[in-house]
Amino acid sequence: MLVAVRVAAQDGNTGINQANTMVRSYFDTAVNLMYAVGAIVGLIGAIRVYGKWSHGDHDTGKVAASWFGSCVFLVVVATLIRSFFGL
């Protein structure tokens, strides 16, 4: 018994536009996730720096700068990606 099956295919432009729309819909969630990760890293870094500072370690400034730099990096990357893609 033969059954005719209709295959619905889309052209390349429609597929690319659909993929573009899907990626853009996930972008705001990803940026918010990056901000949340930056906040968590900042809290962990603050606790670690406070621990070093209270124990009198000499490299407290270097550790604080590295933790602060990592938080700033996450925020800047999220902002640059947003401006790069025009969202």
User: For residue range 16-63, what is the model confidence (pLDDT) as tens digits?
Assistant: 888 888 888 888 888 888 888 888 888 998 898 899 889 888 888 888
Q: Is residue 2 part of a domain?
A: no
Domain of residue 41 covers: 27-84
The answer to whether residue 62 sits within a structural domain is: yes
- For residue 80, the Cα-to-chain-centroid distance in whole angstroms is 11
| Residue 15 in domain | no
pTM: 0.64
> What CA–CA distance (Å, rounded) separates 74 from 39?
9
What is the number of structural domains in the chain?
A: 1
